Structure 1
Amino acid sequence: MHNITNRIVTLCTRHPLVVYALILTLTLLAGIQIPKIQIDTDPENMLDSGHPARVFHNQTKNAFSMYDAIVVGAVNEQTPDGIYTPASLAKLHQLTDAILNIDGVVDADVMSLSTVDNLTQAGPGTLRFEWMMATPPESPEQAREVRQHVERLPLLFDTLVSQDSQAAAIYVPILDKNESYRIAEEIRAQISLFSGEEHWYITGLPVAEDQFGYEMFVQMGISAPLAGLAIFVLLWVFFRSFALIMAPMMVAMSTVIVTMGLLIGSGFTVHIMSSMIAIFLMPIAVVDSVHILSEFSDRYKPGENAKEVIKEVVGHLFTPMLFTSITSSVGFFSLMLTPIPPVQVFGGFVGFGILFAFVVTIVLIPAYLSRLSDSSLDKLQASLHHHDSHNGLLARGVRAIGHLATHYRGSIVITSAVVMAVSVWGIMQIQINDNPVRWFKPSHEIRVADKVLNEHFAGTYDAYLVLSDTRELLSVGQLLPSQSLPESLVEWRSASSDYVLEQPAEERLQALAVALEDKLFDDLNQAESSYLETALRNTEDALSTSKAFLSPGNLAYIEALQIDLQQSGLVGKSNSLADVVKLVNRELKSGQHEDYQLPASAQGVAQALLQYQSSHRPGDLWHMVTPDYRQSLIWLQLKEGDNQDMTAVVDRVQNYVSSHPLPGGMELNWAGKAYLNLVWQDNMVAGMLNSLVSAFVIVFIMMMLLFRSLVFGLLAMLPLTLTISAIYGLIGLIGKDYDMPIAVLSSLTLGLSVDFAIHFLERARASWRESGSIEQTFRELFAEPATAISRNALVIALGFTPLLFAPLVPYITVGVFLASIMIISALVTLVVLPAVMWLTRRWAFTS
């Protein structure tokens, strides 16, 4: 290995311009791919396209003709009548008209006071459908009439207008959720023309996700350069030489550009996770450079052959840098074991970037240093002035830490054990939770809108509980049996069977019934008539039985489930086919509350739904039930979109179904964005745990191979174990939700904590072999090696500080916790690891 390293360094120092040209060419080739970037913030893509939950969700959207929707809210808290004033309703009407003309809006399904029907009784057994607000009311009395109509319609009350009458909503379904930011901006432009007492808000998961994508793109362009600037300034503070620190900055820039260019050029979209790749790699890429520069500046003396010093330094550091790069990349490559595609992409490309940075460091830093003139190197030494480098603030602080670590060993170990125990308890308190709306700061307009509208309405988060009839339908062959078939009908049976089987599955029984009715008008004999009449009767019975959600019993089950969910307090409101039937039934009878109930027969249900389809919006029925009446859903409105809230609802439904079994042949499934978020969170947690355990085992094996010692292998894992435990214990103790950014931090902790330990232990072993003295070994450890580790920890920690000023919570979370990880892992390496090494010296330092 040493000979190979010498050859590489010699080649690079002899042909530095070739090294520059190769790296520049590679960087430019990758850089031209970056303009092809495509942003993706759809949480659905956290699940594989073939995941059962995602497949069912999309099938449900298709079956019930549903679209993702933006929620626009108007709040008037200034007048006694709230939103029911002529001025407020006129603006609502005007805005709705504008929304209907926006490209990409499903205008037929827009829900607003001006686009829905008022359903009333025209007379006994007849209904009247009129637009709720065809024109804006001109007087307070007319506005109050609108209020009276809305409050009589349970389907609209607390959905379109809040119970306190202070807020009204417009639900804006859109064809493509990736267009939600544009559509929301057009709506905001229209709202900006209004003045008055109303406050307007826009929310909903589609617009939150798409707006996050827009702001994420902006943040990428700000945070990465700021991180580079912070690292540049810190390196200058350490080395006081612009000429020297340009080398690691070149390594960092090349690494980021090549990695992002490769990702984008390979056709991957930039998700919330992969958007952080540049921020992760910028500080990580300079770690090896800092080690080389620290040792080079410490060893080089004026008049010496710089190339020989470089060769000596790189040869000394090559093995620990190689292993630290491999272990760091393993931590990220382990994320590819998770079932979350964006996390897999993130882990794979960060892992690649770390290895690429190592290669660039090994070839570029020697080439760069070899190109420095003697005068530049002399200036470097003058600026570094060795006396200060050994007695500066950082060096004195490191020696103070060394004194603490070697003189208070017992106290440190006991304290570490206590911290470990508390951390384990804290880990047990961790709550798994996420919500795309909470990716914004509390002051962000999306968060504000979410808070305000959910305070007024039943909820702006949607989940769908889908009930399906799984019973097999009778086949054409069963309904037209060949056993009693008259010979004269054989040809007709064959042709009719072919025609019926060409129809969609849900229409075959109806098609067969029509074919039988048509044939019965022919001139038939007694045998033919008897056969066909029996077949028609059986077909009509099968057709009636197949329409499961015309059954009052099945609708009663849905109604009871809705009541249980409402009583639980977990659901703001629910709407279902049962609510439609009860409303129409009330108006068909007395119009009074006592008739707000389900009809007693399937014929009564069918009559109610037939009447409902006479409205201006007949398609609304198919949002509640499929045309074959074999699937129906309950639309749940939730005030909170957190996974914990969705979990509580799912558990409540499971408990209800356990004590109240589903009707025979029925199956229950979930759909909706709130539920999908819950599914990918569960998958992520399980996947992250598996990847962490796998990576931990692999790194442990690598440590034993590197040091050829079980004891040193265990010592190398100590900083990693304590750091991960402390960080995640702290997360549990402070009540921070375990979300997507938090989950992936373990991979960085694993790699970089071992990085520090490898360098520390490798230098400890080398020093002990030279001196044979434990005391001398520790004195040398807390000179240049510990200073280099401290520099690296500070470079990485401060490299993430620009994220603290981001408007997006995931970026802030990453910045805070990565800085914490670096500081904690460095302290554990410099304090706890030496204390344990001293106590285990009989086993660790053997001949």
Structure 2
Amino acid sequence: MVNTVLNIAIHYRKWVYWGLLLLTLIFVAQLPKIQIDTDPENMLNAANPERVFHNQAKATFAMHDTIVVGVVNQQSIYNPQTLSALVDVTEYAMSIEGVVQADLMSLANVDNISQAQPGTIRFEWMMKSAPSDLAGAQRIREQAERLPLLRNTLVSGDGKAAALYVPIVDKNQSYAIARDLKAHIASLGSQDEWHITGLPVAEDRFGYEMFVQMGISAPLAGLTIFLLLWVFFRNIPFVLPAMIVAMATVLITMGALIGMGFTVHIMSSMIAIFLMPIAVVDSVHILSEFADRHKPGQQASHTIRQVMGHLFTPMLFTSVTSTVGFLSLMLTPIPPVQIFGAFVGSGIMLAFVLTVIFVPAYLSGLNDHTLSRLLEKLPKEQDSKLTPALRKLGKLAGSHAKLWLLGFAALFALSVYGISLININDNPVRWFKADHELRIADSVLNQHFAGTYDAFLVLTDTNNLSHEAIQAIAGIAGEKQMSDATRTWLRQQAGILEQDDDLSALLMAIDDKSFELSNDTDIALLATLQADVESLSSQAKRFLSPSVLDYISQLQVHLQSSGLVGKSNSLADVVKTVNRELRSGTETDFVLPSSANGVAQTLLQYQSSHRPGDLWHFVTPNYRQSLVWLQLTSGDNQDMTAVVELVERYIQDHPLPDGLQLNWAGKAYLNVVWQQEMVAGMLDSLLGAFVIVLVMMVLLFRSLAFGILAMLPLTLTISLIYGLIGWLGKDYDMPIAVLSSLTLGLSVDFAIHFIERLRATWAEHKDWQQTLALMFEEPARAISRNAIVIAMGFTPLLFAPLVPYVTVGVFLASIMAISALVTLVMLPSLATLVRSWLFKS
């Protein structure tokens, strides 16, 4: 196979050049079609039950993704200037296209609910226009602080901050809308602090900055790699084929991703920066050995055949194992991670194919004169700065083998303990650095308010009273005195009810039908049915029941007392507020009415307000579902998980009313769901890939002993990296989870090259000390160079403003350094101890 590939590369060089150029241009043409996606919701499959329910809940209760604008005055926001600015920003926000005007909330467009006289309630604008003096501002403070739905949501308890909630039609417009709001606020010349935050803004802003980062990091990685290769080989023409292969690999892979219609998510945005260093690995091995082997006057094609004869098989297997490591990510239930794994894995194999065809074609095309000039400029390998250090490392690794292995065992034990300390956590707002304006806004506003993060408890009545109504219809339709036409109509209504489950619609239909009939018997029978259905309809409106609302209220009290929830808002709060004003207007009447009719009366009054639609954010019109809005001061998954567990424990101790079912919705909850799936999926993919790579190692070396030996460096490296994460207290988040695949692929790459060359050198010399000494010449240099190239290739990420990119840069550089060092120390140490067993044949 290798001879066939080399014959094509050497004898059809121009075809190789033009073919690579044409292929690259075809895929580059797809790049302008790029679509960015940073919505964490898309981390879940579209058919995921929690995601489906979340979207159903949003539609049912008319909930929208929301931008939070906050104004802070360290003295008090209750002054004419600050309130005037708040009114101005509110009016401007309502004029922006893409904002849901009816649901926008601020002091400037909500009602003050007060008592006109006992039994009469007054709804008037809280602040249609800003007050002209401090006395007017103080009145607004007193009114706002009396309303539980506003306190610590629209105004802070300390009186130093006010908020504007801007619901938007499309979360992909959040960054543009936030930018417009920021520009307008800047034009006001306000002396107050203004902040803009919210998960939609964080996610969309991340998409914008991610796009910029893609355009900066990948070229910088390429430049860094190019400079490193020049340092190693001191000749630009000599390193060009490696750079051409890397750039072509990145452009073709990204073009294929975009051309196939995949959006660029946070994960797939890292494909280019992952592939750029990995794609030069094989080229470095070829260039390194070519520089060692080529002699003046020798044909380049002859040298490249020798080099490829040695390197083709280990390069093939290292590429396959790296590919397996990334393709294992397709076992996870997270679509963006699957796409990332698929395209990085495919890109690695593409890089291998391009390397074994293009690099030999390029090198063999150099004429003797040009090649001689190149080799004169190449630094002698024995004079490389790496060589003395590697020789010393080789001597250390070959001596005191037992001590080395004891140290590795201790390191492994410490790593396992560190893994037990890992915290699984993520938060999209923390994807930005601590000094980013979004992080600052998040911190400031969550200090003043009950929380800018949302989670929703959705309570659903599962009692099927429609079934009883259908039985009642069947009973009436069975009366012999009824006319055939009415009986047929009733049976049609039963079918409609079974499908729609809407008793209110049935009552209206019966009422309309009664006016059409002239048969007194049919009219009387329908009247009986109507009375039965009205009774069932009243029972079906579970969230008019004081006992059910009291359960919700008690749950809210428990959540508030836990300290995990900043505040909760529910239908019970609306009912209590209106009931207080209908009665005495004092806090003693801030209670639930004693009957369902009393509850219905308060809600009827509330619908006379300027914002009657707000009621349907908390309950459905048939009163069969109700929503509790939780405000959280933290978007960390750990905190959301603690809230979920708190609710579960409360329900165990205080069972839900009969027939009620509780479900979760909201972005904060969905983040927990996808991260739990990611952790389980990553573990499955890592274990599956580990087994596959072990089998491949045994097949490659045709030896169980060498197969196991090849797996030891990556086992220690993975354990050490994740143990370090636990020891440092770094959260296990999305970028960290993906690093395992790279660790598995590249750590075993180093081991494959080392073992393959070790066996070949031993077979040639049959002297262990000489074998070890030779292993720490060109083979160790090639491994070290690759580790340095890959590690340095990720260093541009360290300067990114986005934390996931910095995390990847730091840990990948660490992984490369550790895995190379472990390979170069552990393998010779262990082989020294068991060489008689390893080489017994």
Q: Does 1:427 align with 2:419?
A: yes
- How far the C-alpha of 1:506 sits from its partner, in A, is 6.3
- How far the C-alpha of 1:378 sits from its partner, in A, is 1.4
Q: Does 1:93 align with 2:90?
A: no
Q: 1:19 to 1:608 in 2, by over 3 A?
A: same
Question: Helix, strand or coil for the counterpart of 2:196?
Answer: strand
Question: Helix, strand or coil for the counterpart of 1:667?
Answer: strand
Q: Does 1:30 align with 2:30?
A: no
Q: Deviations over 1:237-278 (max 9, x none)?
A: 000010100010000000000000000000000000000000
Question: Helix, strand or coil for the counterpart of 1:133?
Answer: coil
Q: Residue 391 of structure 2 aligns with which residue?
A: 399
Q: 1:711 to 1:462 in 2, by over 3 A?
A: same
Q: Does 1:55 align with 2:52?
A: yes
Q: Residue 784 of structure 1 aligns with which residue?
A: 778
- How far the C-alpha of 1:513 sits from its partner, in A, is 2.4
CA contact (8 A) 2:118 2:584 kept: yes
Deviates more, 1:475-484 or 1:268-277: 475-484
Q: Residue 62 of structure 2 aligns with which residue?
A: 65
Structure 2 counterparts to residues 174-213 of structure 1, below 5 A = 174-213=168-207
Deviates more, 1:407-416 or 1:102-111: 407-416
CA distance in 2, matches of 1:603, 1:504: 28
Structure 2 counterparts to residues 709-724 of structure 1, below 5 A = 709-724=703-718
Question: Helix, strand or coil for the counterpart of 2:207?
Answer: helix
Q: Residue 664 of structure 1 aligns with which residue?
A: 658
Q: Residue 831 of structure 1 aligns with which residue?
A: 825
- How far the C-alpha of 1:497 sits from its partner, in A, is 4.9
CA contact (8 A) 1:441 1:808 kept: yes
- 5+ long unaligned stretches in structure 1: none
Question: Helix, strand or coil for the counterpart of 1:474?
Answer: helix
Code of the aligned partner of 1:766: A
CA distance in 1, matches of 2:56, 2:26: 42
Q: Does 1:381 align with 2:375?
A: yes
| Amino-acid identity (%) | 61
CA distance in 2, matches of 1:629, 1:620: 14
Q: Residue 447 of structure 1 aligns with which residue?
A: 439
Q: 1:95 to 1:483 in 2, by over 3 A?
A: closer
CA distance in 1, matches of 2:280, 2:418: 33
CA contact (8 A) 2:466 2:497 kept: no
Q: Residue 477 of structure 1 aligns with which residue?
A: 470
1:810 paired residue among 793, 804, 809: 804
- How far the C-alpha of 1:509 sits from its partner, in A, is 1.7
Q: Deviations over 1:460-493 (max 9, x none)?
A: 0000000000111234532222465253444224
Q: Residue 494 of structure 1 aligns with which residue?
A: 488
CA distance in 1, matches of 2:184, 2:509: 54
Using the size of structure 1 for normalisation, the TM-score is 0.97
Q: Residue 37 of structure 2 aligns with which residue?
A: 40
CA distance in 2, matches of 1:515, 1:809: 59
CA distance in 2, matches of 1:620, 1:517: 30
- How far the C-alpha of 1:519 sits from its partner, in A, is 5.4
Q: Does 1:298 align with 2:295?
A: no
Q: Deviations over 1:31-50 (max 9, x none)?
A: 10011000000000000000
Code of the aligned partner of 2:69: V
Structure 2 counterparts to residues 202-601 of structure 1, below 5 A = 202-386=196-380, 389-475=381-467, 476-480=469-473, 481-482=475-476, 485-498=479-492, 508-518=502-512, 528=522, 530-601=524-595
CA contact (8 A) 1:486 1:527 kept: no
Q: 1:226 to 1:561 in 2, by over 3 A?
A: same
CA contact (8 A) 2:466 2:498 kept: no
How many residue pairs were aligned?
A: 839
CA contact (8 A) 1:441 1:809 kept: yes
CA distance in 2, matches of 1:543, 1:656: 30
CA distance in 1, matches of 2:440, 2:227: 37
CA distance in 2, matches of 1:378, 1:426: 53
Q: Does 1:119 align with 2:116?
A: no
CA distance in 2, matches of 1:448, 1:136: 28
CA contact (8 A) 2:486 2:522 kept: no
Q: Residue 108 of structure 1 aligns with which residue?
A: 102
- How far the C-alpha of 1:501 sits from its partner, in A, is 5.3
Q: Residue 601 of structure 2 aligns with which residue?
A: 607
CA distance in 2, matches of 1:484, 1:363: 84
CA distance in 2, matches of 1:483, 1:365: 85
Using the size of structure 2 for normalisation, the TM-score is 0.98
Q: Does 1:629 align with 2:626?
A: no
2:130 paired residue among 127, 131, 136: 136
- How far the C-alpha of 1:630 sits from its partner, in A, is 0.5
CA distance in 2, matches of 1:293, 1:314: 11
Code of the aligned partner of 1:6: N
- How far the C-alpha of 1:376 sits from its partner, in A, is 2.4
Q: Residue 171 of structure 1 aligns with which residue?
A: 165
Q: Deviations over 1:623-652 (max 9, x none)?
A: 000111100011000000000000000000
- 5+ long unaligned stretches in structure 2: none
CA contact (8 A) 1:501 1:508 kept: no
Code of the aligned partner of 1:457: F
Deviates more, 1:520-529 or 1:56-65: 520-529
Question: Helix, strand or coil for the counterpart of 1:225?
Answer: helix
Q: 1:743 to 1:160 in 2, by over 3 A?
A: same
CA contact (8 A) 1:500 1:508 kept: no
Question: Helix, strand or coil for the counterpart of 1:487?
Answer: coil
CA distance in 1, matches of 2:517, 2:377: 112
Q: Does 1:821 align with 2:827?
A: no
